[in-house]
Amino acid sequence: MQAARAAAEASYSPYSRFRVGAAVLAGGTVFSGCNVENASYGLTVCAERIAIFTAVAAGHRRIACIAVACVDAEASATQASLMPCGACLQVIAEFGTADTQLHVHGSRSYTLRELLPYAFRLGQPASSRSGC
């Protein structure tokens, strides 16, 4: 959670002014990311996916857990629904397991099973595939 909060400081969020940071534990190393927005709003990528893709780019295929922090949460009227979005849950499903813990905004923790009980999967998970 500390790494997630630190990562949020680099958030590029001039449109939403909503700074989010995420940190994943993979192979004993913490990889972090922040949300990166775009003038073409739909191109925005969440902090969670940046953190996970950074871990994958470093050679990891399995994430142990993920923490997400929004440093602007206290000022936000949407505080009650600060949960990872569906796209990020699907990406967590790709590299985690049903038991992967999500530590959300310092409030409480959830398993992926709780938040995405019916994740879409194609055969073997990415982590156990050989080759690419």
Ligand X SMILES: O=c1ccn([C@H]2C[C@H](O)[C@@H](CO)O2)c(=O)[nH]1
Q: How far is the CB of 85 from ligand X (least distance, A)?
A: 5
| Half-sphere exposure (Cβ direction) of 29: Cα atoms closer than 13 Å | 13
Q: Is 65 annotated as a binding residue?
A: no
Site size toward Zn ion, by CB under 5 A? 3
Q: Which of helix, strand or coil describes residue 3?
A: helix
Q: Mark whether 48 is an active-site residue.
A: yes
Within 16-75, which residues bind ligand X (CB under 6 A)?
16, 18, 20, 35, 37, 44, 46-48, 68
Q: Which residues pair with 103 in a beta bridge?
A: 67, 109
Q: How far is CA 83 from CA 28, 115, 124, 126, in A?
A: 25, 9, 27, 24
Residues belonging to the active site: 48
Annotated binding site for substrate: 35-41
Q: Which residues of the shown chain bind ligand X in the complex (CB under 6 A)?
A: 13, 16, 18, 20, 35, 37, 44, 46-48, 68, 84-85
